[in-house]
Structure 1
Amino acid sequence: MHVTFLGTSGAIPTTERNTSAVCLRREGERFLFDVGEGTQRQMMRFNTGFDISHVFLTHLHGDHVLGLPGLLQTWDFNERDEALAIHTPSGTKPDVEDLLSVAGTRPSYPVRVDEVSPGAVALRGDEFEVRAFETDHRTTSVGYALVEDDRKGRFDRDRAEELGVPVGPKFSKLHDGESVELEDGTVVDPEQVVGDPRPGRRVVYTGDTRPSKPVERAAENADLLIHDATFADEDAERAPQTGHATARGAAELAARAGVKRLALTHVSSRYGGYAGHLGEQAREAFPEAFVAEDGRELDVPFPDAE
């Protein structure tokens, strides 16, 4: 699983930071989370590829969606024929459809707009789900958690051979959860040679939000939490007023949720080209925090990776 930060600024872009967008690649499939203005140029700049199958919108503020019409038009010019699914919070489908038609034409390829509510599964894929969860912003909004299914336990080959299982197809049957019978009539069960299921990965993207209990629950034990960190401590009073978080507030939530890494994003343009102090403030509460920058790439390993 691979994450590329395409836009890490708040509502106003800067020369260093574009508006909100994150590309996530899993097993060859690519997803976009929010599509701020200029996202398609960021995709070119950082070589993410354009074969996006699903777009997930957290809310319809302009800095999260205004890149969508241009991107859809570019796909049309490039003779795309694969279907595209756009996921958006409940009640916003008509607005998204209006946005898609702003250029005066509809794409020639199939485009489906699906509404999602907190707690719903936005997408069920091959051994993973993308789940919507409640966020706390100034408008209708959701966050998204990509959660992989548990994986098979490790197969203990040495133990299988000790029990007399011959090398070959019976190994695979045991690893797939089937019991096998040996030539002498002995039955070997999977639990004798296969360890406990191993957890998959969890990546959580909040979009714009105040820290909240629903976000904390969604982020529990996440391998990567990408959280709103619009403000530094010195502007903390602005965060609840505008439906955003401080870097420290995001870090405190990450610590409570037991996440492994925290990426701080949606950085206010008031901090110009320097946002290092947001990272410093966050790391006082959660050492594994960092301020994401446009173009930063991050691999998300399995929890049990050595």
Structure 2
Amino acid sequence: MSMRVTFLGTGGAVPTTERNPSSVLVNREGDRMLFDAGEGTQRQMMRFGTGFTISEIFVSHLHGDHVLGLPGLVQTLDFNDREEALTVYTPAGTEDDIDALIHAAGNRPSFPVHVYGVGPDEAAVRRDDYEVRTFRTDHNTNSLGYALIEDERKGRFNREKAEELGVPVGPKFSKLHEGNAVELEDGTVVEPEQVVGDSRPGRRFVYTGDTRPSSTVAEIAEDADLLIHDATFAEDRAERAADTAHSTARQAGEIASRANAERLALTHISSRYAGDVSAHLEEAREAFDGETFVPDDGERLDVPFPDE
């Protein structure tokens, strides 16, 4: 089951020729979700060939570099004859602002756009085998992060053991893997635990949006397969990071280390660093032993299961 992350915008509040404002697209087995929509997001989607088939947009907060792409994106979807409803999740209390932004300049899309406010520690989306959960972040406005958390998966089915026990190849294999006992022709009962291993963890994708380092982020990101964390500044601007409610790359690395994350993506890079992110990488890697990178706009990353 695939999960692919496309970094559409990795820059800070001031865009550069290399980095667009914040936006990340996640495609989980055909469920396509957009996290933030900075200015020009629809052009980034065209530029990097992601297509426009998205079902939900998750807004972390209402600063312009995270939302000014919404009206243009919705209008582009309309021009492409979209008919399916689009759902936008945003921090509770900001629904009217988002609705007004989407309909700016008289924009009246021909497809339904539903805007819902969500608070921290809620399941914004719940599907059969995963949920998108909110968590509180520490920014200088009403803000949230989002975590895509998959359910545990079934244990591996031991076909060789099942055959040794006399289970015939066919429907009884499926019943056992589903957790149901089966009876053989001689009356023997085979229990699922005899042929099915322990349950296996699903994947965890965490997107912080803008935030100071926060224990809440470390908690929600525990054992995350991918943590996308604010790293607006290097340590040379640590005081500026604190004043503006952002994180340094080292602080992002410290959070990833506390969380025992697998991978750390440093994003929301300030324009003052232009094309040189060497300090970000060095400082984060001093704090975190896992894989650390600063994605470029358009970079794609496949997120495997923890046991693969």
Instruction: Give your verdict on TM over 0.5.
Output: yes
The answer (yes or no) to whether the contact 1:276–1:291 under 8 Å persists in 2 is no
Where does residue 160 of structure 2 map in the other structure?
158
Where does residue 138 of structure 1 map in the other structure?
140
Where does residue 224 of structure 2 map in the other structure?
222
Runs of 4 or more consecutive aligned structure 1 residues displaced over 6 Å after TM superposition: none
Where does residue 15 of structure 2 map in the other structure?
13
Where does residue 292 of structure 2 map in the other structure?
289
Give, in whole Å, the separation in 1 of the partners of 2:45 and 2:268: 18
Give, in whole Å, the separation in 1 of the partners of 2:20 and 2:40: 7
Secondary structure at the aligned position of 1:31 is classed as strand
Give TM-score, length-normalised by structure 1. Answer: 0.99
Q: How does 1:202-221 map to 2 (within 5 A)?
A: 202-221=204-223
Give, in whole Å, the separation in 1 of the partners of 2:113 and 2:12: 28
Give, in whole Å, the separation in 1 of the partners of 2:263 and 2:128: 25
Please, which moves more after superposition, 184-193 or 282-291?
A: 282-291
Where does residue 33 of structure 2 map in the other structure?
31
Displacement after TM superposition at 1:90 (Å): 0.7
Task: Indicate which of 271, 274, 282 corresponds to 1:272.
Answer: 274
1:135-190 deviations in Å (ceiling 9; x for gaps): 00000000000001111100001111111111111000000111000011110010
Q: How does 1:1-306 map to 2 (within 5 A)?
A: 1-287=3-289, 288-305=291-308
Displacement after TM superposition at 1:276 (Å): 1.9
Displacement after TM superposition at 1:126 (Å): 3.2
Give, in whole Å, the separation in 2 of the partners of 1:125 and 1:141: 24
Secondary structure at the aligned position of 2:115 is classed as strand
The answer (yes or no) to whether the contact 1:69–1:99 under 8 Å persists in 2 is yes
The one-letter code sitting in structure 2 at the alignment partner of 1:43 is: M
Displacement after TM superposition at 1:265 (Å): 0.1
Displacement after TM superposition at 1:237 (Å): 0.8
Where do 5+ consecutive residues of structure 2 fail to align? none
Displacement after TM superposition at 1:289 (Å): 1.2
Displacement after TM superposition at 1:272 (Å): 1.1
1:206-236 deviations in Å (ceiling 9; x for gaps): 0000011111111010000000000001111
Give, in whole Å, the separation in 2 of the partners of 1:202 and 1:48: 22
The one-letter code sitting in structure 2 at the alignment partner of 1:273 is: G
1:39-70 deviations in Å (ceiling 9; x for gaps): 11110111111000000000000000000000
Please, which moves more after superposition, 6-15 or 105-114?
A: 105-114
Please, which moves more after superposition, 81-90 or 274-283?
A: 274-283
Secondary structure at the aligned position of 2:286 is classed as helix
Give, in whole Å, the separation in 1 of the partners of 2:108 and 2:218: 39
The answer (yes or no) to whether the contact 1:146–1:204 under 8 Å persists in 2 is yes
Displacement after TM superposition at 1:103 (Å): 2.1
The one-letter code sitting in structure 2 at the alignment partner of 1:176 is: E
